Chains A and B, each alone.
Chain A
Amino acid sequence: MSYHNPYTPPRKSATFDDYTLAEIRRAAATGIYDIRGAGTKRKVPHFDDLLFLGASISRYPLEGYREKCDTSVVLGSRYAKKPIVLKTPITIAGMSFGALSGNAKEALGRGATIAGTSTTTGDGGMTDEERGHSQTLVYQYLPSRYGMNPKDLRRADAIEIVVGQGAKPGGGGMLLGQKISDRVANMRNLPKGIDQRSACRHPDWTGPDDLEIKIMELREITDWEKPIYVKVGGARPYYDTALAVKAGADVVVLDGMQGGTAATQDVFIENVGMPTLACIRPAVQALQDLGMHRKVQLIISGGIRSGADVAKALALGADAVAIGTAALVAIGDNDPHWEEEYQKLGTTAGAYDDWHEGKDPAGITTQDPELSKRLDPVAAGRRLANYLKVMTLEAQTIARACGKNHLHNLEPEDLVALTIEASAMAQVPLAGTSWIPGKGGF
């Protein structure tokens, strides 16, 4: 009997998968690492791995649409004479004019203002348009100090000292020459068309003791009026939070690795920092250990997409959240409407991340005047406001189901985890058990 070798399908390596092979070829062909925008694309434990329990015999719910569920939040009540009061705990994260078009910044300001929340400047300074269109504007104080000046410091509603961001804890930035228009160059005191490097460390302080003195200087300059936030990337959330509190922060902003960036090396985005879910409990623990939970507010960002994510972040102990990537999507980023043009750029709607190249078909991550014109800041602002309101309603819906009359009354006890990893990170029990890995001796 003759033997026929049966067909076996070609087998590709799990280690050397198609994407990995393509990356090796790309590096070999170009001689440069891949730079892109947005946050990590790898799958990490996230809010999707948590569920709310809702009410039961021992917990009674609140009536939807009838019984009030408050969403307001006060930020900066520790030291600032003028704390910020927001109608919703969903804020807009820092994104620069330079990385974004003027119209995009205006849209973010308009949307946030309609929804009763704050928006934030970025690495490049404050524009008159965003100040004018933002009822509550947080002014970032970054290592580069691009666009930093005392007049804008005083006309800001809060100051955010940026130590790091989730997409690249420990990394600086690079705004490539093609996005440097005359106006961007002028705001940053640099020649047009050259790459603008943003330092990874602040030029005039290092370490928590210096930070304390720096915070005091900013308070003295602004006569102790403004809340001072300290933003850190998700690296060592317990110690970073504790040190920020020790240094005198009013608010700690903690950004996990799903948080976006305008332009960073892909290898950095994908391999440095921790998932947002893993950051929250250690930060809250630090606040609780210091007796400062709810006194120093905690803003969580990195991969917040829905009211459910908001409710979960707050249930784990955050006071507010910030959205960046989701806000850009709301105003039109990666919209299938521009699919034909995304295809011409070698990508597809939903995957476009070359935000640093300035060719954004949606007119958001660009300084090209023709592309920028595509974004109507009024209509886009309205979309963002709608989205913020939907998220707020969603979070309220969940909170009422858990019997809570304020989003801040959500608590870890309301949550269970779907996976062991999420259970360990969020420190809530695996669904159907009373087990939290690492707690109770095993």
Chain B
Amino acid sequence: MSVSVKRESLEAMRTFDLATTPLRELNSALHTISPGANDTNFEVVNPRGSHSVAVGIDQPVVVDVHGSVGYYCAGMNDGGNVTVHGSAGPGVAENMMSGTVVIEGDASQYAGATGRGGLLVIKGNAASRCGISMKGIDIVVHGNIGHMSAFMGQSGHLVVLGNAGEALGDSIYEAKLFVRGEVKSLGADCIQKDMKPKHLKLLADLLEKAGVTDVKPEEFKRYGSARKLYNFNIDNAEAY
């Protein structure tokens, strides 16, 4: 799967101007798409930082948002392909189930929080808590990520081409983290791990899916859980 999404028919594209159209009309239209419908291409203009743009998508629609969005853009996306030609506020693609969300600019806090599937690509930087409590989502950030990213990450992959802030992967479970640059510090129970051939292959696939062609998997380090906090032990109390 590639993030460069092809449109079936430009004629069928529906445009929503959020300067003149209530958000409710956009989301309602996205929710009333029948499975197999042709009318699946949407364009959103003048989002002007609106919250909850294109949330709750449950069909393979294509949504292009021209401008920056506020909180929770593409929240709970299940199968949609959403591209924001701008930056995204907090909680972009939160709890995503499947599909693809691409942010051409930067993303604020909690990008991809609790995501269960699909691919989130952030072409700029992501702020703190990127991938918090991730549960299966794949996140690829071209720039840097902020502190406490992948906190309590349960599963899925977080790939960072730049640097990671403090306390990366704090209290992490089975999420896999790949960072190409520097990691300011690791959180509780998060350690650097060997990059084995299967991880290089996995990372190569993730980079390809995200359309990243100019870096090599060998340039990354892998981080994950030491699994020492999986069952409570009083002698580990200082780690909490």
Contact = CB atoms under 8 A, between A and B. Distances in A.
Chains A and B belong together in one complex: yes
B97 A191 contact: no
Interface in A142-175: 144-145, 148-151, 153, 174
Interface string B89-105: 01100110100000000
A203 B97 contact: no
Contacts of B109: 204
Interface string B116-145: 100000000000010011011000000000
Nearest to A194: B230
A217 B72 contact: yes
Contact of A217 (B52, B114, B234): B52
Contact of A149 (B51, B94, B97, B113): B97
A186 to B, nearest CB: 11
Count class of interface residues, chain B: 35 or more
A199 interface: yes
Interface residues of A, number: 34
A221 B133 contact: no
B72 A204 contact: yes
Interface stretch (A2-10, A208-216, A383-391): A208-216
B154 A148 contact: no
Contact of A221 (B55, B71, B110, B231): B55
A370 interface: no
Contacts of A195: 230-232
Interface string A209-242: 0100110110011111000000000000000000
A403 to B, nearest CB: 46
Interface of B is mostly: loop
Interface of A is mostly: loop
Contacts of B23: 220
Interface in B141-165: 151-152, 154-155
Interface string B40-53: 00000000000110
A60 interface: no
A190 B231 contact: no
Nearest to B77: A150
A217 B51 contact: yes
Interface string A14-37: 000000000000000011100000
Contacts of A205: 90-91
Contacts of B78: 149-151
A191 B132 contact: no
Interface of B: 23-24, 27-28, 31, 51-52, 55-56, 58, 70-72, 75-76, 78, 90-91, 94-95, 97, 109-110, 113-114, 116, 129, 132-133, 135-136, 151-152, 154-155, 171, 173-174, 230-232, 234-235
21 contacts: A31-B234, A150-B76, A153-B76, A174-B232, A176-B232, A177-B230, A177-B231, A190-B154, A191-B174, A195-B232, A197-B171, A199-B133, A203-B113, A203-B133, A204-B90, A204-B110, A213-B51, A213-B72, A214-B71, A216-B52, A217-B75
